[in-house]
Amino acid sequence: MSRTESFDREQLLACGHGEMFGPGNAQLPVPNMLMMDRMTHISDGGGPYGKGEIIAELDITPDLWFFGCHFPGDPVMPGCLGLDAFWQIVGFYLAWIGNPGHGRALGVGEVKFSGQVLPNAKKVTYKVGMKRVISRKLVLGIADGTMDVDGREIYTAKDLRVGLFTSTEGF
């Protein structure tokens, strides 16, 4: 089966509105919480562990919502938004390979920040390598990710965990 291997903003927004994977299945957030403008590459092979890789990008402009409130006079993208982008990407991947359910972040093993995203930056690039994918009654993805700003790596995350759940009651 041939699957789309890249997605533009309109397609990601359609996913956010539940139009990509069908009712009851994974959705991306919509703006302002959608943390990518495009997914330039997604595959179910390759990456550092041979189990799939995803590359996505976010265009940075000084008028992005978070710069106005985090922090006045010292604007910087919150680190938690980069972390959320990783979880968004892993959840999308699990649905893209055909798993049902709503995505939920389940944790991360380790996160390191070694830089920042300022309003004068141009582009953030997320690179996610799937380490383990369970597609049974339990649907779980475990991945590592890096985040670059204008070609410089500034975040690393290990053991990002996302699950897909057909029911989130009692979660």
| Catalytically annotated residues | 70
For 12, residues 6+ apart whose C-beta sits below 8 A from its C-beta are 28, 34, 36, 37, 38, 39
Picking from 68, 23, 61, 44, the residue whose alpha carbon sits closest to that of residue 128 is 44
Alpha-carbon gap, residue 87 to 20, rounded angstroms = 18
DSSP-based three-state secondary structure for 160: strand
Other CB atoms within a 10 A radius of the CB of residue 82 amount to 23
DSSP-based three-state secondary structure for 16: helix
